Amino acid sequence: MALENMENVEVFNSEGKGRGLRATKELWAGDVLFAEPSYSAVVFDSLTQGVCHNCFKKQLKLQRCGQCKFAHYCDRTCQKEGWAEHKSECSAIKKNGSVPNENIRLAARILWRIEKEGSALSEGRLTSLDDLENHLDDLGEDDMKELKVDVHNFLDFWPSNSRMFGVQYISHIFGLINCNGFTLSDQRGLQAVGVGIFPNLCLVNHNCWPNCTVILNNGKIELRAIGKISPGEELTVSYVDFLCLSQDRRKQLKLQYHFDCTCEHCTKGIKDDLMEAVKEEEGNKPSAEVVKEVITFSTDTLQKIEKSRSEGNYHEVVKYCRECLKRQEPVLAETNIHMLRVLSIASEVLSYLQSFHEASDYSNKMVQGYLKLYHPNNAQLGMATMRAGVTHWHTGLIEVAHGMICKAYAILMVTHGPTHPITKDLEAIRMQTEMELRMFQQNEYVYYSMREAALKNQPMKMMAEPGQEAIKNLFHKK
């Protein structure tokens, strides 16, 4: 795959952060700063038979490689396209008679590419893999042990007729996979399916309130502006979900990415007050004791919810959510993140169980809270609003549904762009809800009979199975 044009960005020295990228010209919300194909990428171990090893689409029927019987592809075209990356892997798997884990497969793909092309800069590439951070010095004892095991297994897998790399260099590759591996999602953005390395993206520093977002579209990542950017301004993305207290975001960033976030939102604790807010009615607030009790109850219940959800026990999830919300609603404000977490799971699971009435009520509350917390062009906000809109459509609340769908569409046009499969789906839904709304305003009877038909013909499937973990973190962590 050819590299794209990089004329909108340049590498510079960002004070206190090392290298960074900045804009070379003025940009607006929705502008693509650059698109970049992966340098190397692999499908997760758990999904090697359900996801194409070339385009990372999730498919019911895939064809497997006749040689190694391991790699799977949509069709001949994908197999041919993926051959250059798979060729050496294919013969190594055949020779070993076993398949190593995803980390080792990715390291091997990277090193075969370096063997073939060298590691010098080429056109469109702003950094060499040699110059990327590996944070090996920051690894704890356990992580270091794990890395050594990976290197050991890698050397077992690596064929003797391939170029020999030193242990130090191989460790560097594992280190950079560890801190720069980007999570690849399926074509609908619903499920994490693999991990890949995008060297130019690695140069974009973090900010909890960034001016860009990253989206995977058709095998390439796109760096998209979510607001106006001036020439010379540093480009940033958020490595973590914003909906955590600043101290928790900082803790996570330190643990996973080994730096102290000094962004404005963290240093000033912006929006922390909203995320912790309690209900206030006519100047009356619940006592600190009551609040503490509810928060403890929420934290405990959320653990139970996560456990039931991962076991696929969705009716139990709903039971816990209802119990928790009953305790939270009189005490916590609508922007309190403890309540928003429960509302998000409750609406997701109830939609999946087709209890749309209750789901739409929760999803509406969730979106109202999100609107006060997230950046107006945040991708999570767009996706949540879209799901809430579809849930309302199922309930027959067409006016609210159409409003939400339009709002979501406006956000996704910025964060995903017009060619992304999710935006295209949403466009079709928007046309449907627009037509239904017009119908509803003219003649309610006709509207209801048409809706019946629409529900039968094309159920709007935008919901992932709720057992899957939502993709909120940019980079993959084992």
What's the min distance (Å) between Cβ of 79 and Zn ion?
Answer: 8
Do residues 367 and 389 lie in contact, with contact meaning Cβ atoms separated by under 8 Å? no
User: Contact between 52 and Zn ion (CB under 5 A)?
Assistant: yes
Residues 78-117 contacting Zn ion, CB under 5 A: 78, 90
Task: Specify the residue, 43 or 90, whose C-beta has the smaller distance to Zn ion.
Answer: 90
User: Contact between 55 and Zn ion (CB under 5 A)?
Assistant: yes
Do residues 422 and 416 lie in contact, with contact meaning Cβ atoms separated by under 8 Å? yes
What's the min distance (Å) between Cβ of 234 and Zn ion?
Answer: 14
Phi, psi of 403 (to 5 degrees): -60, -45
What's the min distance (Å) between Cβ of 317 and Zn ion?
Answer: 31
Cα 418 to chain centroid, rounded: 18
Task: Specify the residue, 48 or 351, whose C-beta has the smaller distance to Zn ion.
Answer: 48
User: Contact between 67 and Zn ion (CB under 5 A)?
Assistant: yes
User: Contact between 68 and Zn ion (CB under 5 A)?
Assistant: yes
Applying CB under 5 A, among 9, 23, 74, 318 the residue interacting with Zn ion is 74
What's the min distance (Å) between Cβ of 78 and Zn ion?
Answer: 3
Angstrom distances, CA of residue 25 to CA of 22, 202, 443: 9, 21, 51
Alpha-carbon gap, residue 185 to 201, rounded angstroms: 16
Alpha-carbon gap, residue 209 to 212, rounded angstroms: 9
Question: What sections of 97-245 are H helices per DSSP?
Answer: 102-117, 141-157, 167-180
User: Contact between 62 and Zn ion (CB under 5 A)?
Assistant: no
Number of residues this chain uses to bind Zn ion (CB under 5 A)? 14
What's the min distance (Å) between Cβ of 209 and Zn ion?
Answer: 7
> Pairing state of beta strands 205-206 and 236-237?
parallel
Q: Which H or E run contains 245? A: none
User: Contact between 229 and Zn ion (CB under 5 A)?
Assistant: no
Alpha-carbon gap, residue 430 to 420, rounded angstroms: 15
Other C-beta atoms within 10 Å of 465: how many? 12
What's the min distance (Å) between Cβ of 74 and Zn ion?
Answer: 3
What's the min distance (Å) between Cβ of 92 and Zn ion?
Answer: 10
Applying CB under 5 A, among 23, 106, 208, 367 the residue interacting with Zn ion is 208
Task: Specify the residue, 49 or 67, whose C-beta has the smaller distance to Zn ion.
Answer: 67
User: Contact between 77 and Zn ion (CB under 5 A)?
Assistant: no
142's tokens: 């356990």
What's the min distance (Å) between Cβ of 397 and Zn ion?
Answer: 37
Alpha-carbon gap, residue 324 to 329, rounded angstroms: 9
Alpha-carbon gap, residue 142 to 116, rounded angstroms: 33
Task: Specify the residue, 55 or 435, whose C-beta has the smaller distance to Zn ion.
Answer: 55
Residues facing 20 on adjacent strands: 12
Alpha-carbon gap, residue 146 to 428, rounded angstroms: 47
User: Contact between 51 and Zn ion (CB under 5 A)?
Assistant: no
Which of 16-24, 208-216, 430-438, 468-476 is the region at the interface with Zn ion (rule: CB under 5 A)?
A: 208-216
Angstrom distances, CA of residue 299 to CA of 140, 142, 478: 28, 28, 24
Q: Interface mask (CB under 5 A) for Zn ion, residues 413-432, using x and -?
A: --------------------
Which of 21-29, 63-71, 337-345, 370-378 is the region at the interface with Zn ion (rule: CB under 5 A)?
A: 63-71
Residues 256-295 contacting Zn ion, CB under 5 A: 261, 263, 266
* Cα Dmax for the chain: 77
Task: Specify the residue, 71 or 147, whose C-beta has the smaller distance to Zn ion.
Answer: 71
Give the footprint of Zn ion on this chain (CB under 5 A): 52, 54-55, 65, 67-68, 71, 74, 78, 90, 208, 261, 263, 266
